Amino acid sequence: MNTPLSRRTAFRSAGAVALATGLAGTAGITEAEASSGKSQPRLVTYPRPADMPTNTSFRARVRTAPHGAWQNLDIWLPQLEEINPTTGVGKVYDSSLAYFDCRGSVEVEVTYLKGGAIKARVRPDALGITPELHGDTLRFTLDEPKDVVVQINDEIFDCLHLITNRIDPDPPAETDPDILYYGPGIHTVTGGTLTVPSGKTVYLAGGAVLVGQVHFKDVENAALTGRGVLYASPVNAILCEGSKNIEVNDVIVLNPKGGYVAMLGESENVTISKLRGFSSRGNGDGIDVFSSSSVVLDGCFLRNSDDCVAVYGHRWDYYGDTRDVTVKNCTLWADVAHPINVGTHGNSEAPEVIDNLVIQNIDILDHREPQMNYQGCIALNVGDSNLLSNVHIEDVRIEDFRWGQVIYMKVMYNTKYNTSIGRGIKNVYVKNLSYTGTRANPSLLLGYDADHAIDNVTFENLVINGTVIADSMQKPSWYYTTDVVQWYANEHVTNLKFLTTAEAAAS
C-alpha cells in the first residue's frame, strides 16, 4: 500500500490549492458561522492525477453564484458501452466526468470543444434546468448539489457527467487510528484488494485514486467514504460479504475493465449513499444485492453496461432471503439491460423470499436492451422458486429511452439462468410512475400459470405522455385498460387495478 500523504503534504498538493481557493471564496457565510470560527468554503474542486486518463470533448468550470471567481474542473474519462443487436458485440465509448463540492448556489459553464453545438440539455429533465447556450458554451445554475448529465446535440456517449457533493463539514484526520486515509494521488494495494477490518473506515480524499477492490468480509461497523475515486481492476469494485453495519458514501467508481460497481452478499444493515458508478464491459452491473437484509441505496448515480440495480436471492455462495431493501433518490442510466431488475436468481432446493422492496423517487434517464426477456426500466422477473412480495414503487420518472419497456413483470423459468419456475409475485403497488416518450415497447405482465401467478397489482396515477391511465377512463367497454397504452397482462395476472389518485384515496 502506498504511504498516505501527510496532512501538510496534502494541503500543498494541487488538490489543496483548489481547496485553498475555495476557502478564500467564503462570501455568503452567515455571521454566526464567522463568529463561531466554523465557517466553510462554498466551493471546493479537486485535481485529477496526471497519470489518470482524461477526455478532450469538454472544458468545464464553476463559480459561486452569482459572481464568484471561476475555478476550472478537471475532466475524467469514464467508459460506456453499446451492444450491436446484430452481432452482440459491445462497442466501448469514451465519455467525460467532472466533480466538485459546493454549499449554496453555483454557476456552471461548459464548453463543447468539438464545436458545432446546436442544442444543449441538462438531465434529469425533472430538475427543470434550461441552460443558456451561446455558441459552443452553455451556462446553468445549481441551487444545491445535484448530479446531472450535460448533453450536446443529443449525443448519448460524448456527454459530460457532472457529480456534486455537499462540502464535507468534518473530514477525518489522517492520524485517526480508525481511518485508512488516502490523500490526493494514485494509490495501489497489494494483490489488488484492500480488506477492511471491523471498526475501520477507508477515506478517499478528493483527488485520491485507489486502484483495486475494497472488500468487507465478515466484518462489522466499517465504511468507505470520501471524495475520491475507486478505479477498479477487473473485479467488483466494492464487495461486501457476510458483514453488517456497513456504510459506503460519496465515492466515485470507474470500472473500465468489467465487474460490478458494488456487490452485497449475506449482509445486513448496509447503507450505500451517493455512490456514483460507471462501467463499460459485459456484466458490468451497478449495485447487486444477494440474500441480504436492511439495505438502503440512497442518492446514487449509476450508468452501467448491465443492470444498474439488481435484487436477488441465492447465487454463488450466497444463501437466504432478501428482505427490506430500499432504493431511493437515485438516477439510473442502463446502456445495456435494466435500470432495476428484481428476482432472477434464487434457490430452487430451498426456496427463498424477496420481501418488502421499496423503490422511491427515481429518475431513469435511459434503457437500451434488444432482448425481449431482459427489457423493463423496472423488471420484476421472478425465477428459481423465488416469491416476490410487498413491493412499493413511488415517484418514478422515466425519460424517453432507446429500447425496452417501461415495466415488466414476469413469473418465469428462464433456462439460461433458472433451475425452476418462480413461485409468484404478489402485492405490488405502483404510485406516481410517469413515462414521457415514444420509443417504449408494450409493457408485459405475465404470470406463468395459475399456481405461479401475479396477484394484487395496483397502479395509482400512472401517467403516460401526460395522460392518467385508470380503469375509469373513457374507452370502449370491451377494452382492457392496458389496451389504452398498448400494454399486455395475461390470464395469470389477477386483481390488477389502475386508479386515479382520488379513487385510491376513496378506496
Which of 244-253, 278-287, 405-414 is least confident? Answer: 278-287
Confidence at residue 235, expressed as pLDDT on a 0 to 100 scale: 82
232 band by pLDDT with thresholds 50, 70 and 90: confident
Q: 7-166 belongs to which CATH class?
A: mainly beta
Hey, what amino acid is at 275? L
DSSP letter at 172 equals P
Answer whether 308's CB lies under 8 Å from 283's CB: no
CB-CB contact of 204 with 194 (8 Å) = no
Q: What is the dihedral of CA 498, 503, 506, 507, to 10 degrees?
A: -20
Residue 227: which of 6, 9, 10, 2 has the closest Cα? 10
Tell me 335's DSSP state: S
* Pairing state between β 407-411 and 444-446: parallel
Average pLDDT over residues 373-381: 97
Given pLDDT bands bounded at 50, 70 and 90, which one contains residue 39?
A: low
d(CA 420, CA 413): 6
What average pLDDT score do residues 332-339 get?
A: 98
Does position 7 have pLDDT exceeding 90, yes or no?
no
Q: Is the pLDDT of residue 190 over 80?
A: yes
Cα 389 from Cα 110, distance rounded (Å): 45
**Listed residue (229, 205, 202, 203) closest to 215, CA to CA:** 202
* pLDDT of residue 13 exceeding 90: no
Query: What pLDDT does residue 22 have?
Result: 37
171 prior amide bond cis, ω within 30:
no
For residue range 421-449, list pLDDT tens digits in order.
999 999 999 999 999 999 999 999 999 99
Dist CA 277 CA 392 (whole Å): 25
The answer to whether the pTM exceeds 0.95 is no
Q: CA dist 368 to 77, 78, 212, 256, 303, Å?
A: 22, 19, 29, 20, 12
Q: How much is the mean pLDDT over the chain?
A: 92
For residue 229, pLDDT beyond 50: yes
Looking at residue 469, its amino acid is: I
Question: In this predicted structure, what is the pLDDT of residue 201?
Answer: 98
Identify the band that residue 291 occupies on the pLDDT scale cut at 50, 70 and 90. Answer: very high
Q: Residue 16: what pLDDT?
A: 37
Q: How far apart are CA 84 and CA 81, in angstroms?
A: 10
Looking at residue 452, its amino acid is: H
Question: Model confidence over 114-149: pLDDT tens digits?
Answer: 999 999 999 999 999 999 999 999 999 999 999 999
pLDDT in the model for residue 36: 41
Residue where the block lists cell 445495456 = 336
CA distance 453 to 434: 26
Q: pLDDT-derived band of residue 40, with 50, 70 and 90 as boundaries?
A: low
Q: Who contacts 492 (Cβ-Cβ below 8 Å, separation ≥6)?
A: 411, 446, 447, 448, 449, 450, 452, 453, 454
Set of cell numbers at residue 180: 485508512
Residue 9 φ/ψ, nearest 5 degrees: -60, -40
pLDDT score of 440: 98
* Spatial separation of the C-alpha atoms in residues 433 and 396, rounded to whole Å: 5
CA proximity to 166, closest of 243, 246, 94, 249: 249
Minimal CA–CA distance to 210: which of 11, 16, 75, 49? 49
Domain limits of the chain? 7-166, 307-506
Q: What is the structure's pLDDT at 233?
A: 73
Write the pLDDT tens digit of every residue in 202-215: 999 999 999 999 99
